[in-house]
Chain A
């Protein structure tokens, strides 16, 4: 089955700096890659997603890039704010979502 690896497990950045989280997947048939943000004790919330026919997608301060050949995709957050602090999960899917292990992002004021 699909295996998704996510790095780093923790990331601290200064407010205003950029944050990058990277994921790799194993199943070349996977074609859908969402990113979720989860605040402590709350539900995962979809923040951006990309499908395999697109290489990059941007939504305000958030962007995702996909390299199908290398089987990796990344989340980029620019101009980080304290409210961006949360755990971020990547996922890959052909049929079912397989989640990465999560990245605890801390934005320091």
Chain B
């Protein structure tokens, strides 16, 4: 157990819908990262928040957005869902903001039908 928690574990929804994924970092970690892993694909970095502020953006679609709250948990919002958005979404956390060891949560498996 890495100490990073994610909810829900599984999510099934329809195209065009909107979902919210939630992540709680390890105690003491200030950074939260979001990754997307499609079937047979590697880990694609989406976005990073550090202590409530957006720190870095990766390959995140405009339909996706995220935020980090004062208690440091983070939410990833996915809207206007398409079939291709079906994937495992992982969050990870680290103590600092750059070049730090990242610990991954168990992931949320999203299926868009």
Q: Is the CB of A43 within 8 A of B105?
A: yes
Interface string of A24-55 (1 = CB under 8 A from B): 00000001101010000111111001000000
> Tally of A-B residue pairs with Cβ under 8 A?
51
User: Contacts A49-B101, A95-B99 known; A89 to B42 CB distance under 8 Å?
Assistant: yes
B14 near A: Cβ within 8 Å? Answer: no
Q: Is the CB of B106 within 8 A of A43?
A: yes
The CA-CA distance from A95 to B58 in the complex, in Å, is 12
What class of interface size applies to chain B in its complex with A? 20 to 34
CB contacts (< 8 Å) of B90 on chain A: these are: 43-44
CB contacts (< 8 Å) of B102 on chain A: these are: 34, 46, 97
CB contacts (< 8 Å) of A100 on chain B: these are: 42
Q: Is the CB of A94 within 8 A of B99?
A: yes
- Distance to closest chain A CB from B16 (angstroms): 27
B77 near A: Cβ within 8 Å? Answer: no
- Greatest chain B CB density within 10 A among A36, A93, A97 is at A97
CB contacts (< 8 Å) of A42 on chain B: these are: 106-107
Residue ID in chain A nearest B102 by CB atoms = A97
